[in-house]
C-alpha cells in the first residue's frame, strides 16, 4: 500500500520531536526559527539577549530612559546555507521504511546545520580558552571549574550550555563521583539526568563538533561553554517559486518544539517517473559576541 502524504506529515512530526542531541544542539545559541518560506540571501533579525545591569536613579535628570541592558539586540543574519538530503521513494516503500528514511534525512540535514554553525567557533572568533586537557581525565571537577569560568565572565544564569565531543562526554559518564550520586548506576539514567545537567550547564555530546573547522585543524577544539548570546543563528524553509516546474507533488513542514523547522518535498523525475523525498533547511549564522563563549581544547 502506498504511503499517503498525510502519513509523511505525521512521520516527520514524530521524528523532529525527538529529544536526540543532534536535534537540539542549536538551542545553545540565540536563534530565530521561521516556519515561513525565505530565499537564500535573505536577512533575518535574530534577538540576542544581553545581560542586564543596574544604575542609580537620578531625580534631577529622571534617567528612566537610559538603558541598562537586559534587552534584545537584533543581529542581522544572512541565510547563506541551503542544506538538503534526498532519498528515493519506491513503490515498495512501507511506512516503516519512510520513518527510517525521514529520520536519516532529517538527522543529516541538522548535522549539516550544526557543522555550519560550529565552523564559526575558531580561535580568532573565540579567544578565551577555559580548559586544556585530555579526554581520559576530564571529570566533574573540570565542569565545576568551567562553572567558575562562566561566573567570572558573568555569563547569563539561564541558558548556559556545555557542548563536548564524544570522548570528553564519555569521561563524564564514567565519572565515579557522578555514578555514586546516581545510586542506580544506570548509564541511561545517568545520561538523561545527572550528566545532562551539571553546575547550571545543559551538557550535550556532539558527533558534529569533532568535524568542525576548529577541531580538525591545529586549534584542537573539543568543546565550548556559552550562554546562548555568543552566536546568532537563523533558520527558515526554502521557497519553491514554481512547484509545477520543479516537479513537486507534495510539500510540508516538520516543526519541533524548539521551533526548528525542516521542509519536506516529494518530487519526481518527469522523464523516468522516479520519485524522491527531500528534507531541507535554509540557515545563517554569525558570531554576535565571542566574549560570551569559551573554548575547551585538547592538550
- Same domain assignment for residues 224 and 206: yes
* Residue 64 belongs to some domain of the structure: no
Q: Residue 203: how many CB atoms within 10 A of its CB?
A: 24
How high is the pLDDT of residue 112? 94
* Residue 186 belongs to some domain of the structure: yes
* Residue 92 belongs to some domain of the structure: yes
* C-alpha–C-alpha distance, residues 136 and 298, integer Å: 11
How confident is the model over 116-137, as a mean pLDDT?
96
How high is the pLDDT of residue 191? 47
Mean pLDDT of the chain: 87
Q: Does the pLDDT value for residue 187 go beyond 60?
A: no
Q: pTM of the entire structure? A: 0.86
- Same domain assignment for residues 149 and 213: yes
CA atoms within 13 A on the CB side of 233: 29
DSSP letter, residue 4:
P
- Same domain assignment for residues 239 and 113: yes
- Same domain assignment for residues 153 and 243: no
* Residue 167 belongs to some domain of the structure: yes
How high is the pLDDT of residue 181? 60
- Same domain assignment for residues 140 and 213: yes
Q: Which three cell numbers stand for residue 74?
A: 537584533
Domain extent for 98: 5-52+71-119+234-282
pLDDT tens figures, 254-269: 887 777 889 999 999 9
- Same domain assignment for residues 23 and 102: yes
- Same domain assignment for residues 155 and 293: yes
User: Which residue spans within the chain are E strands per DSSP?
Assistant: 29-38, 43-49, 72-78, 81-89, 129-132, 161-165, 197-198, 201-206, 221-226, 228-238, 248-255, 261-268, 275-287, 293-297
pLDDT tens figures, 209-220: 999 999 988 899
CATH code of the domain covering residue 196: 3.30.2320
How high is the pLDDT of residue 184? 52
Closest CA to 121 of 73, 72, 163: 163
- Same domain assignment for residues 173 and 191: yes
pLDDT tens figures, 67-124: 766 678 899 999 999 999 999 999 899 989 999 999 999 999 999 999 999 999 999 9
* C-alpha–C-alpha distance, residues 230 and 121, integer Å: 10
Q: Does the pLDDT value for residue 29 go beyond 90?
A: yes
- Same domain assignment for residues 211 and 140: yes
- Distance set, CA 258 to CA 24, 31, 136 (Å): 8, 10, 33
- Same domain assignment for residues 240 and 223: no
With bands split at pLDDT 50, 70 and 90, how would you rate the model's confidence at 294?
A: very high
Q: CA-CA-CA-CA torsion for 191, 193, 199, 205, nearest 10 degrees? A: 30
- Same domain assignment for residues 109 and 211: no
When divided into structural domains, the chain yields a total of 2
Residues 6 or more apart whose CB falls under 8 angstroms from that of 57 comprise 63, 64
Q: Backbone phi, then psi, for 273, in 5-degree steps?
A: 80, 0
* Residue 124 belongs to some domain of the structure: no
* Residue 265 belongs to some domain of the structure: yes
* Residue 252 belongs to some domain of the structure: yes
How confident is the model over 196-225, as a mean pLDDT?
90
* C-alpha–C-alpha distance, residues 210 and 221, integer Å: 8
* Residue 102 belongs to some domain of the structure: yes
With bands split at pLDDT 50, 70 and 90, how would you rate the model's confidence at 190?
A: very low
How high is the pLDDT of residue 68? 67
Q: Which three cell numbers stand for residue 127?
A: 579567544
How high is the pLDDT of residue 180? 67
Q: Are 196 and 172 in contact (CB under 8 A)?
A: no
- Same domain assignment for residues 173 and 293: yes
Lowest mean pLDDT among 29-43, 55-69, 136-150: 55-69
H helix or E strand, kind and range, residue 12 = helix 5-16
Q: Does the pLDDT value for residue 236 go beyond 50?
A: yes
Q: Does the pLDDT value for residue 30 go beyond 60?
A: yes
Amino acid at each position: 500500500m502506498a504511503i499517503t502524504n498525510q502519513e509523511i506529515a505525521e512521520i516527520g512530526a514524530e521524528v523532529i520531536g525527538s529529544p536526540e542531541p543532534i536535534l537540539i544542539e542549536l538551542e545553545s545559541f540565540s536563534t530565530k526559527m521561521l516556519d515561513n518560506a525565505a530565499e537564500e540571501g535573505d536577512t533575518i533579525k535574530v534577538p540576542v539577549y544581553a545581560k542586564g545591569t543596574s544604575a542609580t536613579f537620578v531625580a534631577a535628570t529622571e534617567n528612566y530612559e537610559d538603558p541598562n541592558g537586559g534587552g534584545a539586540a537584533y543581529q542581522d543574519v544572512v541565510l547563506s546555507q541551503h542544506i538538503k538530503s534526498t532519498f528515493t521513494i519506491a513503490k515498495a516503500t512501507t511506512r516503516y521504511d519512510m520513518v527510517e528514511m525521514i529520520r536519516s534525512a532529517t538527522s543529516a540535514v541538522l548535522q549539516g546545520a550544526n557543522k555550519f554553525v560550529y565552523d564559526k567557533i575558531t580561535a580568532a572568533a573565540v579567544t578565551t580558552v577555559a580548559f586544556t586537557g585530555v579526554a581520559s581525565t576530564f571529570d566533574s571537577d573540570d565542569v565545576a571549574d568551567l562553572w567558575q569560568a562562566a561566573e567570572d565572565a558573568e555569563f547569563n544564569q539561564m541558558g548556559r550550555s556545555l557542548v563536548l565531543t564524544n570522548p570528553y562526554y564519555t569521561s563524564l559518564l564514567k565519572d565515579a563521583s557522578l555514578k555514586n550520586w546516581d545510586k542506580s548506576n544506570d548509564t541511561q539514567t545517568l545520561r538523561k539526568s545527572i550528566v545532562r545537567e551539571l553546575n547550571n550547564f545543559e551538557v550535550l555530546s556532539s558527533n558534529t563538533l569533532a568535524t568542525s573547522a576548529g577541531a580538525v585543524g591545529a586549534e584542537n577544539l573539543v568543546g565550548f561553554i556559552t550562554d546562548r548570546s555568543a552566536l546568532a543563528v537563523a533558520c527558515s524553509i526554502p521557497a519553491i517559486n514554481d512547484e509545477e516546474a520543479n516537479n513537486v507533488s507534495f510539500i510540508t513542514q516538520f516543526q519541533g518544539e524548539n521551533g526548528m523547522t525542516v521542509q519536506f518535498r516529494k518530487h519526481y523525475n518527469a522523464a523516468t517517473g522516479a520519485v524522491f523525498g527531500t528534507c531541507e533547511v535554509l540557515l545563517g549564522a554569525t558570531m554576535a559576541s565571542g566574549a560570551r563563549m569559551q573554548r575547551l581544547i585538547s592538550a
